[in-house]
Structure 1
């Protein structure tokens, strides 16, 4: 599976489109979490990038003030079941962006082990970590209510706009409780790379960065996570790597580097 912020149709979309189409064609992921994907009445950027062979779910509340139609989407080679949407506009500082989460049942080839896929996209400004905490708790509680009924595996990811030590990400990683709530998810990158930096938003090397980011840190803000039960993660991360991490024929795919993980059910016993 891959999580990838694709920057809508900004910044020389035609060149970026070719990079993304070729890259996804080669990687051929079974599951994709997209952020900043444009969907309008006559255009679906997810289908444009991936081509045929995927079932797609789109956030209904999409951007109407920035790039029209930008939002989050999920694509799966397996059929999709129930689709739920969480509104993460949690206060005055979050109303101008379609912060939200998509929570989708995936009817994959292990029917005896149901899978829940979550695309979590909180607010992006650097100074709204409090709101990202509230957003993380809202999504986590929603997911826990489902899992209590269904016992599903959960894969959760997205562009969290927060570094690993931020309180919202520490909450997801089981290192910090918020609002009387705690959960535990394992970070696929950390499981396979330990403390390596693994920047996914890298102003020092990526020319697509807007001017206001260019003096900022390279940082890891995009994640793929596996939910833990009482006895650790319910699925095993086989490998994890960054994708779209450089230029192809002079063009980058996005201002974000994507994250790819191979995940499979944990062996019992």
Structure 2
């Protein structure tokens, strides 16, 4: 009988940095945490390589974003339970979003009763500092897609991902909990959730100090609101 679950979200940072050293840490970390649902961002998937499968056990069902970057980078969702419908929300909503594989991968997780169906959104919007307008549009598109799916086949809604913005901006569009509770930091920073300082030296000055926002929160009260 399934009455609760554990979810983890992580930006894997692709295979950048010292991947040979980071890989076993990720493998041991996920094995120790044993989450039921995992949303990964910036995973590398090509015809001959699957980074998510490399760090996760065979117990997980995987679904990958199909519209990935040229090097195979995109998002991946993993579930211990079977996966039903999947939808990739097109987040290329202005010309400025063309250079990044933004997406919201919404996956139907077929959890046994009494918990039942979960709609899990793996959200990865535009990352650039001056693209908050695009992130607002992208959050609205994701919220509308979730609302449509849930109206047709009701279930629990969970939004997780690397939101790349201040929570206040995202809350102005995703009218969910008044203050989304930050997911407990289950994975230590060394697992690769953001680049080490020395690896960020090539970034623009403001980008190198921006806080990364990785959240997982229930969104059963999520309602898209029209942007002004």
Q: Please report the TM-score for the alignment, with normalisation by the length of structure 1.
A: 0.71
Evaluate the alpha carbon distance shift between residue 149 and residue 55 of structure 1 in structure 2; reply closer, same or farther with a 3 A threshold: same
Give deviations 1:94-113, integer Å, cap 9, x for gaps: 00111011111111122663
Given that 2:84 and 2:108 are in contact with CA atoms closer than 8 Å, whether structure 1 keeps it comes out as: yes
**Correspondence 1:189 to 2:196:** no
Number of residue pairs matched by the alignment: 209
**Correspondence 1:14 to 2:6:** no
Evaluate the alpha carbon distance shift between residue 28 and residue 3 of structure 1 in structure 2; reply closer, same or farther with a 3 A threshold: same
Q: CA deviation at 1:135?
A: 0.3
Q: CA deviation at 1:210?
A: 4.3
**Correspondence 1:211 to 2:208:** no
Match of 1:168 among 167, 170, 175: 170
Structure 1 unaligned regions, length at least 5:
175-182, 194-199, 231-269
Match of 1:228 among 220, 223, 227: 220
State the SS of the aligned residue for 2:21: helix
Match of 2:158 among 155, 177, 185: 155
Given that 1:123 and 1:132 are in contact with CA atoms closer than 8 Å, whether structure 2 keeps it comes out as: yes
Distance 1:207 1:52 in 2: 34
Evaluate the alpha carbon distance shift between residue 151 and residue 86 of structure 1 in structure 2; reply closer, same or farther with a 3 A threshold: same
| Counterpart position of 1:245 | none
User: Higher relative contact order at CA 8 Å, sep ≥6: structure 1 or structure 2?
Assistant: 2
Distance 1:73 1:201 in 2: 15
Q: CA deviation at 1:211?
A: 3.1
Match of 1:51 among 51, 57, 71: 57
| Counterpart position of 2:226 | none
Given that 2:65 and 2:76 are in contact with CA atoms closer than 8 Å, whether structure 1 keeps it comes out as: yes
Give deviations 1:230-268, integer Å, cap 9, x for gaps: 9xxxxxxxxxxxxxxxxxxxxxxxxxxxxxxxxxxxxxx
Distance 1:207 1:163 in 2: 24
Distance 1:100 1:37 in 2: 13
Q: CA deviation at 1:51?
A: 2.4
Residues 63-78 of structure 1: matches in 2 within 5 Å? Answer: 63-64=69-70, 68-78=71-81
Distance 1:23 1:52 in 2: 15
Q: CA deviation at 1:83?
A: 1.0
Give deviations 1:37-74, integer Å, cap 9, x for gaps: 0000011100001121100000000012xxx0000010
Distance 1:19 1:155 in 2: 27
Looking at secondary structure, tell me which structure has more strand per residue: 1
Structure 2 unaligned regions, length at least 5:
1-6, 186-191, 223-228
Q: CA RMSD in A?
A: 2.5
| Counterpart position of 1:122 | 125
State the SS of the aligned residue for 1:138: helix
